Amino acid sequence: MKKDVNKVVLAYSGGLDTSVILRWLQDTYGCEVVTFTADLGQGEELEPARKKAEMMGIKEIFIEDLREEFVRDYVFPMFRANAQYEGTYLLGTSIARPLISKRQIEIAKMVGADAVAHGATGKGNDQIRFELSYYALKPDIKIIAPWREWDLNSRTKLIAYAEQHQIPVSKDKRGEAPFSQDANLLHISSEGKILEDPAVAADMDLILSRMVSPQNAPDKAEEITIDFEAGDPVAINGEKMSPATLLTKLNEMGGRNGIGCLDIVENRFIGMKSRGVYETPGGTILFQMRRAIESLTLDRGAMHLKDELMPRYAELVYNGFWFSPEREMLQAAIDHCSSVVTGQVTANLYKGNVLITGRSAPKSLYDADIVTFEEDTVYDQRDAEGFIKLNALRLRLRGRLLGR
């Protein structure tokens, strides 16, 4: 038995893996275990996790509703950056990890724990995201990652360990799950098992749980209007909503219209490629409608620079550097840029598509008097000749050198 840990805070879901980890920590480290379960909108009943922890002798149990904080302080700031990892992934799993880590460390300080533990495997990104955040928030914290220590490296071994120690195992865990899922209010990811071969089409009827497929969506478009203030959505169809309530509503609207499913192969930070199917109905609507209001309100130079910074920002979030100084620097620039992004966007939701139909803003940079094709008195078209010649100067000099 290891003796270097006195008290550990475990990120606990109540499922098979973390229940086995809980008992394994008690057996291996002989330490007191505190459980922490976060409600990030995964859609699961969390009280069974409390009862299971109590049954396993846990005295300090934390189950907390973090949905509003998750959307307000993590999802919305990330969306102000229009962040997409590798041009497609809206970072649904990635953005949940820093909040879980932050609260886990806060609880560790509160209860006097000297260690934290998580259930992420040694092959994935989550171990990196959790641990980078732990170290950023408490540099001297001890971290226990059971999947990197134990020999319970199969579902069969986990179930055998659970039965040996009288840990309840739900019947659906006794067989091989067709794929693994991770859910929160922003998205649901499905990976592994039947999805591991990227050449084989995913069975969407089996996988999709937050949305219908575009083929099964209604034949009539659904209209939606979103009001934005300083870059964040604040109302749907004229109704003011809190951040979590608004994203929940967007999920419902996007889900029934078949919006937000991606089947992608991505590059994990640890070095391997992985295939996943992601459902992000509300986030997809928000992403596209935010871009529409930005098209009216952002200066061209600011918009283009923001687009250049976005891949770096997205990579930082994906790789687990939410609490890094460089992410905070980028966030400050993005938030300054977003201060003018206020207005209203209307779109039609139709069979997997978000079709923008209108946008307006009190401080719009769009000037109909200037862009009109009709006769105007505010723009002298002859000015364009000098503009073009100045921009062509270097091209003409180079052309002469090349003998053109």
| Of 39, 50, 72, 180, catalytic | 180
Instruction: Please report the pLDDT score of residue 244 as a whole number.
Output: 98
**The pLDDT of residue 170 is above 90:** no
Q: State yes or no: is 205 an active-site residue.
A: no
Q: State yes or no: is 126 an active-site residue.
A: yes
Instruction: Please report the pLDDT score of residue 179 as a whole number.
Output: 86
**The pLDDT of residue 236 is above 90:** yes
**pLDDT per position as a tens digit, 117-158:** 999 999 999 999 999 999 999 999 999 999 999 999 887 899
Instruction: Please report the pLDDT score of residue 172 as a whole number.
Output: 59
Q: State yes or no: is 335 an active-site residue.
A: no
Range 332-351 average pLDDT: 98
| Of 13, 80, 101, 126, catalytic | 126
Bridge pairing between strands 142-144 and 261-267: unpaired
Give percent of the chain with pLDDT exceeding 70. Answer: 98
**The pLDDT of residue 376 is above 80:** no
**The pLDDT of residue 174 is above 60:** no
| Of 13, 17, 189, 275, catalytic | 17
Could you tell me the pLDDT band of residue 176, with boundaries at 50, 70 and 90?
low
Q: Tell me the Ramachandran region of residue 33: left when phi exceeds 0, alpha when psi lies from -120 to 50, beta otherwise.
A: beta
Please say whether the beta carbons of 144 and 109 come within 8 A: no
| Of 23, 97, 129, 327, catalytic | 97
Q: State yes or no: is 17 an active-site residue.
A: yes
Instruction: Please report the pLDDT score of residue 30 as a whole number.
Output: 94
Q: What is the maximal distance between C-alpha atoms in the chain? A: 86
Please say whether the beta carbons of 100 and 130 come within 8 A: yes
Burial track 188-214 (b if 16+ CB lie within 10 A, e otherwise): bbbbeeebeeeeeebebeebbebbbeb
Of 183, 224, 216, 171, the C-alpha closest to 39 is 183
Q: Tell me the Ramachandran region of residue 307: left when phi exceeds 0, alpha when psi lies from -120 to 50, beta otherwise.
A: alpha
Distance separating alpha carbons of residues 296 and 365, to the nearest angstrom? 6
**The pLDDT of residue 374 is above 80:** no
